[in-house]
Structure 1
Amino acid sequence: MSDSPGSFIGTVQELPVLRRIQAGLLLDGAELGEILLPARELAGAEPPAERLSVFVFEDGEGRPRATLRRPKAMPGEVARLQVAAVNRIGAFLDWGLPKDLLLPFAEQRPGAGQRLQEGHWQLVKVVRDRDGRLFASARLDRFLEDTCEAYQQGEAVTVTVVQATDLGYKVAVADRYWGLLDAAGTAPRPGRKLTAYVQRLRADRRLSLTLDAPGAAKSEGLAERILARLESEQGSLPLSDRSDPAAIRAAFGCSKNAFKQAIGKLYRERRIVIADHGIRLP
């Protein structure tokens, strides 16, 4: 379990079932005491086990509560969440739990234009205050580092798209670092999570990323995807080494050069035929 009651909140725990009451199940929350899992979570069914895996959160009165559901973003993660309501202290975001997540006005981006309203979407990071209470912040620069020495060239990383720039897409790398993604020919929406690869190690320690896997892994994986697409498209595709790079990127999420390498490999293995206006199975 967590080291302190405050850090217990916002975590997934496996808790013993103590007893059933009219309001639901009481679980053993150790330092937090008995934690209620509301009856609506079970819909009248018997507890599925003597111990339950639950997410622990605080209700509107600051009391610990349990849910069998998982939030749309765990503490520490960057995600795009929708505004469910707005009041005098801030916006409340739907993160998939009975209690919405507070995005205080002080944590909204200054100069971002129109104040958030119900139904708007916002990129935030789920963070804790000094007492362990969870809230959302749209001021990502406070929580993401500009430089990184944690990865090697070609290493795969999970990124969350933040915004388009003149040079590429600004992304949150592993929810901890800023990076710049070269995604030419695509238009990933803010909040989308992608697998990217470290393109090169820069002298300034900033991360440059690409959607293309490096070397043999790129060719092998892409070649198999091309074959699978051919089989699902009656054996032919109107794409070749002469096709527009944007069309190739839209179809396979890769560069034209990577596509050419993959179909060249398949051609040498006699697994495809390269024709004037596309490729096909033999």
Structure 2
Amino acid sequence: MIKPGRTQTLTIAEKNNSGYFLEDQTGDRAFLSKIFANDDTEIGDEIDVFVYQDDHTLKATTETPLAEIGEFAVMECIQTLPTGAFMDWGIIKDLFIPYKQQKGKIVEQKRYLVYIYIDEATGLITGTTKFKRNPQYDITPFEYGNKVDLIMMNESELGWNVVINKEYIGLLYFSDVYKKLYPLSEEKGFIKAIREDGKIDVTLQLDGFENIDEFRQKILDYLDENFGLMYLSDKSSPEEIKKELEMSKKNFKKAIGGLYRDKVIEIQQDKIKLV
């Protein structure tokens, strides 16, 4: 059965002047406009497409949407109506968010975090800006240290609520923030913990040797840009290090320790120098 709102491989079953009818193994069909196919596309060929709905008709595109069913994405509002808002989905079809699914009034040309789902009442692919913050999960695909993509949601009492790999919501504690963050910005992060209650904690930096080369290079780049001098040392406060280098003091000390052992830098009482 063809699954609307998802990318899938379908077979070209029929061709006309406007495009191609694609089928899955059950015989379900979706229409692909000829503008999305190569001139040498023939009946029997398999093609990877994203399937969407257009007035309850299944259509396909080779474009890549910003998100699929069960995923989050940042989208810009294209048009607002009394019944809802149309968002730029990254494909030929815009995504509709009904008025009742808007957490606050959506304004044209502004960007919002949107979750995509199938509305049970209408059976249509729908967007919403209403979702539970920091939910609990029974099963997740993550382990400690996994590198993940993050979307900043909003600040809470403990830190930032974040979207993880488009599908999960987690928490980034303020103590793990080493740079200025903004709502809807995208960052790289790491899984810090999967708690017993099923909630997910993330961090922007792992405290360990896994990423020490990245921190070493950041220090060397800073020294190169500042005439070989850095007015920080292992005696500097975590706040000073965070402000200048956007890293934890623990990672800073490990990085400069390695650079010192390699005789790349000198560590003095109040500064660091390139050798």
TM-score by length of 2: 0.79
Query: Could you give the per-residue CA deviations for residues 209-243 of structure 1, whole angstroms, max 9, x where no partner exists?
Result: 3212132213244224545x369759846463377
Deviation of residue 25 (structure 1)? Answer: 2.7
Unaligned stretches of 5+ in structure 1? none
Please say if residues 197 and 209 of structure 1, whose CA atoms lie closer than 8 Å, have aligned partners that are also in contact. yes
- Give the drift of 1:12: 1.2
SS of match in other structure, 2:91? coil
User: Equivalents in 2 of 1:245, 1:107: separation in Å?
Assistant: 43
Q: Tell whether the 8 Å contact from 1:181 to 1:210 is kept in structure 2 after alignment.
A: yes
Q: Per-residue CA shift, 1:17-39, capped at 9, x if unaligned?
A: 33442212332244464422212
Query: Which one-letter code corresponds to 2:109 in the other structure?
Result: G
Q: C-alpha displacement at 1:140, in angstroms? A: 1.2
In the alignment, residue 83 of structure 1 is paired with which amino acid?
Answer: C
Q: 1:129 aligns with which of 119, 123, 129?
A: 119
Superposed displacement of residue 246, structure 1: 6.2
Paired residue type of 2:53 = E
User: Do residues 78 (structure 1) and 72 (structure 2) align?
Assistant: yes
Aligned-pair identity (%): 25
Q: Distance in 1 between matches of 2:231 and 2:118?
A: 49
Number of the residue aligned with 2:173? 181
Q: Which residue of 1 aligns with 2:159?
A: 168
1:23 matches 2:14? no
Deviation at 1:124, TM superposition (A): 1.7
**Shift of the alpha carbon at 1:271?**
3.2
- Counterpart for residue 52 of structure 1: 47
- Where does residue 135 of structure 2 map in the other structure? 145
Counterpart residue number, 2:186: 193
CA distance in 1, matches of 2:231, 2:13: 62
AA matched with 2:33 = P
State the one-letter code of the partner of 1:56: V
Q: Deviations over 1:151-202 (max 9, x none)?
A: 6655544432101234321223452333233353422222233333344676
- Which residue, out of 68, 89, 94, partners 1:95? 89
Residue 5 of structure 2 corresponds to 10
Preserved CA contact (<8 Å) 1:223 1:262: yes
**Aligned AA for 1:164?**
E
Whole-angstrom distance in 1 between the partners of 2:194 and 2:39: 55
Q: Which moved more, 1:231-240 or 1:125-134?
A: 231-240
| Partner amino acid, structure 2, of 1:128 | I
Cα distance in structure 2, aligned partners of 1:91 and 1:196? 32
Q: Does 1:107 align with 2:101?
A: yes
2:148, 2:189 within 8 Å by CA — same for their partners in 1?
A: yes
Equivalent residue pairs, number = 268
- Alpha-carbon distance, 1:51 to partner: 1.9
Partners in 1 of 2:23 and 2:194 — Cα distance?
Answer: 49
Identify the range of structure 1 (91-100 vs 31-40) with the bigger mean alpha-carbon deviation.
31-40
Is 2:9–2:47's contact at 8 Å kept on the other side of the alignment? Answer: yes
Question: Equivalent of 2:56, from 50, 59, 62?
Answer: 62
RMSD: 3.4
Answering whether residue 32 of structure 2 is matched by residue 37 of structure 1, we say yes
User: Judging changes above 3 Å, is the alpha-carbon distance between structure 1 residues 278 and 9 closer, same or farther for their aligned structure 2 residues?
Assistant: same
Cα distance change, pair 76–83 in 1 and its aligned pair in 2 (3 A):
same
Deviation, 1:205, is: 5.6
CA distance in 2, matches of 1:28, 1:205: 39
Q: Is the 8 A contact 1:239 1:248 kept in 2?
A: no
Q: 1:159 aligns with which of 125, 150, 154?
A: 150
**Which amino acid in the other structure matches residue 217 of structure 1?**
E
SS of structure 2 residue aligned to 1:216: coil
